[in-house]
Amino acid sequence: MPPTPTVTAAWDVRVKLRLIPDIRIFTPEVGRSGVGLSLASRCESCGMPMPTNEDHGAHNPDNPYCIHCTDLDGKLLPFEKKFDELVASTMETRWMSREEAERSVREQLLQMPAWRSKVEKLMAKTPAATQTPTQTPSAQS
């Protein structure tokens, strides 16, 4: 009977094949030098994980925004552009209608420090029927 592979062997294979995206953090050369490590864990604009410097805007580890939310100079893209991109992506990946996708993206961006005030203004302009209630109605006595 052939030996059964162990969890350690499977882990080694995944490490060698680079199937673990942030494996660079665990390599000895990175551990000693700190090259490639990121200080921020998530983008403050979209919430994307940023495990390496290359994931930050302009590859600058001090930039709190990811490469998808910034231009080549590392400056944050306009809210309208990011909102439209996220709505289109949500419609495509989650098979939602435009209204559902906009509601979902507003809820997500409301949690992001970069967009909180803009989303609050957008929600103030949006009719109440399309907003997601943040509190459940209280029972009347």
Q: How far is CA 110 from CA 91, 95, 106, in A?
A: 18, 22, 6
Please, what's the largest Cα pairwise distance for the chain? 72
Determine if the pTM surpasses 0.85.
Answer: no
Quick one: 101 exposed, middle or buried, by C-beta within 10 A (0-12, 13-18, 19+)?
buried
- CA 135, CA 43: separation in Å to the nearest integer? 27
Quick: pLDDT tens for 76-96: 999 999 999 999 999 999 999
What confidence tens digit (pLDDT) does each residue in 7-24 have? 444 444 444 444 444 434
- Residue 141 pLDDT > 70: no
